């Protein structure tokens, strides 16, 4: 990906979101843009106008953390956006071939991790990489995301590709617009963390070519850290589910994330997960009988 273009688009999009009133700057006369001017950002960040213009043109090479933090404060970036800006700056610097090779190397799933995943019988669980490829899942996880695995394709299956290209995705996600926005923002964050990943670049290119909603959301330059939250699903076999998800970064495997879904025991969604487990067992027994 073109680092300069990414920096330019990100900084200009964040600048457009901050009004003079939000920044505590008196707004005199007519303004051609709703957001801040470059000179105003420079003053708030404590750098010269010429220097900030250089940054917004995409040149972050050699910029100090203190300057980046000053720009982040001026643009009122949140924690995830500030981290994204630092990642873009890091990607602008020189990188050794060894670093690039380490980033491009596909992570290996240790046998112990697979055993832990299989032992989690009470909650749906997945193992994914930074491209949102589902690399492994326990039986309840396979059952929960049955529409995504319905094609019978072998793992990995890409959840972002499912969200934007599968015709069943919008029925499966009652809040599809929120899911889609978060998926694109998380993918942009991953792209900054792994700028040399050609497979990730290819995925973004494919989705940009095939999905108009993806193109629009990608242009928004939003970033998102996929750590925890609530996911609402409309499962074709058990109906509506409202599940809490947690994303656990695996120590020693910075490209692998363990995702779990759970619900309060006794709640309608908790009962739904029990029903899902029964449905999955019946389905698997039917498949074994057919075989």
CATH code where residue 227 lies: 3.30.450.180
pLDDT tens by residue, 260-271: 999 999 999 999
Q: Which helix (H) or strand (E) holds 136?
A: strand 133-137
Q: Which of 46-55, 191-200, 251-260 has the highest mean pLDDT?
A: 46-55
On whether residue 9 sits in a domain, the answer given is: yes
CATH code for the domain of 71 = 1.10.260.40
Establish whether the linkage from the previous residue to 156 is cis, with ω within 30° of 0: yes
Percent of the chain with pLDDT over 90: 73
> Are 121 and 76 within one domain?
no
On whether residue 99 sits in a domain, the answer given is: no
> Are 226 and 87 within one domain?
no
β-bridge pairing 125-128 and 253-262? antiparallel
pLDDT tens by residue, 215-227: 999 999 999 988 9
Do 134 and 158 contact (CB within 8 A), yes or no? yes
239-250 sheet: strands from edge to edge: 157-158, 133-137, 125-128, 253-262, 239-250, 228-235
Report the predicted TM-score, pTM, of the whole model to 2 decimal places. 0.87
> Are 54 and 185 within one domain?
no
Q: Please state the domain count of the chain.
A: 2
- Tell me the mean pLDDT in the region 6-29: 90
CB-based contacts of 117, cutoff 8 Å, min separation 6: 125, 127, 136, 137, 138, 258
Q: How far is CA 243 from CA 147, 172, 207, in A?
A: 17, 14, 27
| Predicted confidence (pLDDT) at residue 1 exceeds the cutoff of 70 | no
Q: For residue 207, what pLDDT is reported?
A: 97
> Are 117 and 88 within one domain?
no
> Are 129 and 236 within one domain?
yes
> Are 58 and 167 within one domain?
no
- Tell me the mean pLDDT in the region 32-42: 89
> Are 131 and 231 within one domain?
yes
**Distance between CA atoms of 174 and 240, rounded to whole angstroms?**
9
| Predicted confidence (pLDDT) at residue 31 exceeds the cutoff of 70 | yes
Q: For residue 97, what pLDDT is reported?
A: 41
Domain of 14 in residue numbering reads as: 3-94
> Are 235 and 286 within one domain?
yes
């Amino acid at each position: 990906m073109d680092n300069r273009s990414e920096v330019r688009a990100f900084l200009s999009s964040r600048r457009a979101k901050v009004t003079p009133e939000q920044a505590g700057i008196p707004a005199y006369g007519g303004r051609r843009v709703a957001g801040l001017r470059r000179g105003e950002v420079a003053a708030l960040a404590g750098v010269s106008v010429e220097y900030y213009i250089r940054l917004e043109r995409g040149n972050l090479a050699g910029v100090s953390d203190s300057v980046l933090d000053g720009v982040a404060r001026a643009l009122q970036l949140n924690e995830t956006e500030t981290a994204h800006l630092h990642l873009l700056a890091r990607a602008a610097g020189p990188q050794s071939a060894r670093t690039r090779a380490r980033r491009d190397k596909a992570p290996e799933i240790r046998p112990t991790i697979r055993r832990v995943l299989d032992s989690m019988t009470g909650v749906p669980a997945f193992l994914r990489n930074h491209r949102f490829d589902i690399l492994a899942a326990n039986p309840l996880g396979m059952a929960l995301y049955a529409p995504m695995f319905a094609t019978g394709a072998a793992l990995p299956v890409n959840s972002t590709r499912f969200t934007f290209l599968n015709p069943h995705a919008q029925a499966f996600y009652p809040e599809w617009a929120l899911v889609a926005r978060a998926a694109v923002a998380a993918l942009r964050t991953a792209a900054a963390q792994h700028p040399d990943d050609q497979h990730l670049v290819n995925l973004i290119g494919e989705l940009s070519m095939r999905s108009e909603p993806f193109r629009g959301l990608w242009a928004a330059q939003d970033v998102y850290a996929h750590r925890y939250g609530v996911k609402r699903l409309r499962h074709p076999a058990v109906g509506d589910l409202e599940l809490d998800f947690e994303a656990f970064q695996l120590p020693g495997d910075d490209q692998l994330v363990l995702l779990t879904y759970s619900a309060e025991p006794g709640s309608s969604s908790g009962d739904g997960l029990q029903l899902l487990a029964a449905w999955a067992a019946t389905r698997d027994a039917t498949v074994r009988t057919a075989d």
